[in-house]
Structure 1
Amino acid sequence: MTAEPGACAVAHGETEEEPPGRTLVAVFASPVSRYLLAYAADTGYRTVLFEPDLARTAEGCDLRTALPELDAGTDVVVTDHHRPELGEVLRAALAGAPRWIGVLGNPRHPGPHVAALTALGVPAADIARVHRPVGLNIGSRTPPEIAIATLAGLLADRNDRPGGFDFP
């Protein structure tokens, strides 16, 4: 396998390469969002935490209590699928123009976002834009592992590589 031009030099710190400009919006403060935002910042993402409940906020991040503008350079990851405002937040995200939207959750269980969005009258085609499961299938179980799997999938997609989100 041949390396891309300059990849070795970048890996050895001999030169710097800027990753494509992207924003990662982690939705809801959670143990996973804390790791996801930290790791994403290290890989060149501009990171934002959207948390409407100030009692659940985290320190040390760009915190928003209103969903920021979601453009074609934005990836959105919902890190807590048990929150009652899940459907409303996803409907608002779908109304924007984010590049990618995903909801964390066990792939062996139905995604609660489908029922929540259906109840709000969101068309099936829009609901299908929400990815679930999220991340690469590496058997992750802990918050740091889930964040790594999620970010690895986003990086593969960002770099147009077949990292994949499929779970057989």
Structure 2
Amino acid sequence: MSTESEACALAHGTVQPAGDGRALVAVFDSPVAAHLLHFAATLGYRVALADPDLSRTPIDAQTDVVVTDHDRPELGPVLRDALASPARWIGVMGSPRHAGPHVEALRALGVADGEIARVHRPIGLNIGSKTPAEIALATLAGLLADRNGRPGGTTF
């Protein structure tokens, strides 16, 4: 596809899926999730919103799962189910200044510490994000860096 064709496809909202099969599942409907899904689709991800039941959302080894609300009562069961899936990467949004509530929620469900350690928090690049769109952008940039084996930031 030529560059002009790609630009037209993007302008018309018909983006071809990425060749590597990447997928993103945003968990919990939120302003950040809306931006995350929009930006990810633009980048060629297969996208889905799960709120909160993951059982109806296809997750494979190319799927990144991003939980967009760490205060929901369903946090533990959602993360337990994500950890039981073949997801490539699982993360929860939240401030690094506060302990992640996901740890206790998962322990209460009997999830082993080794599995809990697979959950990333905080997530995304540290760019000082404040708005939902900025948080989504930082999150996707971090996921792309991880997929590409890069540290993110300005280290090359």
**Matching residue of 1:41:** 41
SS at match of 1:32: helix
List alignment gaps of at least 5 residues for structure 2: 7-15
Residues 28-86 of structure 1, C-alpha deviations (whole Å, 9 max, x = no match): 0001000000000000100000013xxxxxxxxxxx77442322110000001110000
Residues 88-145 of structure 1, C-alpha deviations (whole Å, 9 max, x = no match): 0100110111000000000110001001001111000000000000100000011000
- Given candidates 79, 91, 99, the residue that maps to 1:110 is 99
- Contact 1:69/1:96 (8 A) holds in 2: no
How far apart, CA to CA, are the structure 1 residues paired with 2:23 and 2:77?
Answer: 21
**Matching residue of 1:13:** 3
How far apart, CA to CA, are the structure 1 residues paired with 2:96 and 2:29?
Answer: 21
- Contact 2:23/2:47 (8 A) holds in 1: yes
SS at match of 2:65: strand
How far apart, CA to CA, are the structure 1 residues paired with 2:28 and 2:68?
Answer: 6
- Given candidates 139, 145, 152, the residue that maps to 2:128 is 139
**Matching residue of 2:25:** 25
Question: What TM-score does the superposition give when structure 2 sets the normalisation length?
Answer: 0.84
List, as ranges, runs of 4+ consecutive aligned residues in structure 1 with deviation greater than 3 Å.
14-19, 64-67
SS at match of 1:72: coil
**Matching residue of 2:12:** none
**One-letter amino acid matched to 1:33:** A
- Given candidates 128, 137, 141, the residue that maps to 1:148 is 137
**Matching residue of 1:89:** 78
**One-letter amino acid matched to 2:95:** N
**Matching residue of 1:6:** none
What's the CA shift for 1:15? 8.6
**One-letter amino acid matched to 2:131:** T
Question: What TM-score does the superposition give when structure 1 sets the normalisation length?
Answer: 0.78
- Given candidates 77, 83, 92, the residue that maps to 2:66 is 77
Sort the Cα spacing of 1:65 and 1:131 in 2 relative to 1 into closer, same or farther, 3 A.
closer
What's the CA shift for 1:161? 1.8
Q: What is the count of residue pairs matched by the alignment?
A: 143
List alignment gaps of at least 5 residues for structure 1: 1-9, 53-63
**One-letter amino acid matched to 1:50:** A
How far apart, CA to CA, are the structure 2 residues paired with 1:157 and 1:44?
Answer: 16
Percent identity reads 66
How far apart, CA to CA, are the structure 2 residues paired with 1:67 and 1:155?
Answer: 25
Sort the Cα spacing of 1:21 and 1:138 in 2 relative to 1 into closer, same or farther, 3 A.
same
**Which structure has the highest helix share of the two?**
2
